[in-house]
Amino acid sequence: MLNRCRRRLLHVLGLSFPLLTPLLSPPHLMKPLVVFVLGGPGAGKGTQCARIVEEMDQTMAANAQKNKFLIDGFPRNQDNLQGWNKTMDGKADVSFVLFFDCNDEICIERCLERGKSSGRSDDNRESLEKRIQTYLQSTKPIIDLYEEMGKVKKIDASKSVDEVFDEVVKIFDKEG
């Protein structure tokens, strides 16, 4: 009954049925490719994602088939991953995990520096040490899981913003 209602609603709205029944979707429609962007607090995820988006906009404008989506800081833990798998199974493919690997002390120093102007209340040493422990206990095992699947692209994020971005560009060029 519910499926019939959904199909009727989609029909009324002028939407196609492939949204509900992937088996009926035309072969030329590709599933979106997702890139999870992970790393510890202060590793540069947000900084690099802002730059990656500009490059992706240009790439997608030139070739609409190249449609990757960045998901910054997700999945952070096993619950997030299970929710993703349950909700997105068959709807999107994880292309790879972009892992910004950075020494804890460098991450802390970056966040403390950021805290001087960001106004973020969690950019203090005590909070950062707790956030790093949470990252190591909850997020790092997710990265390790994708590493076992051969889907992790690891970048030394202790380098300068420009040097890190150069490595990011190389990875996206290679991955398409």
The predicted pLDDT at position 61 comes to 65
Q: In whole angstroms, how far apart are CA 87 and each of 6, 25, 91?
A: 17, 18, 8
In sequence order, which residues have a C-beta less than 8 Å from that of residue 94 and are 6 or more positions away?
33, 34, 35, 36, 146, 151
The CA radius of gyration of the chain, in Å to the nearest whole number, is 19
pLDDT in tens, the chain (176 residues): 433 333 433 333 344 333 333 333 444 557 888 999 999 999 999 999 999 888 877 766 666 666 778 899 999 999 999 999 999 998 999 999 999 999 999 999 999 998 888 777 887 889 999 999 999 999 999 999 999 999 999 999 999 999 999 999 999 889 86
The predicted pLDDT at position 3 comes to 38
Domain 33-175: which topology? Answer: Rossmann fold (3.40.50)
The predicted pLDDT at position 59 comes to 66
The predicted pLDDT at position 31 comes to 82
The predicted pLDDT at position 4 comes to 38
Q: What is the pTM of this model?
A: 0.77
The predicted pLDDT at position 120 comes to 78
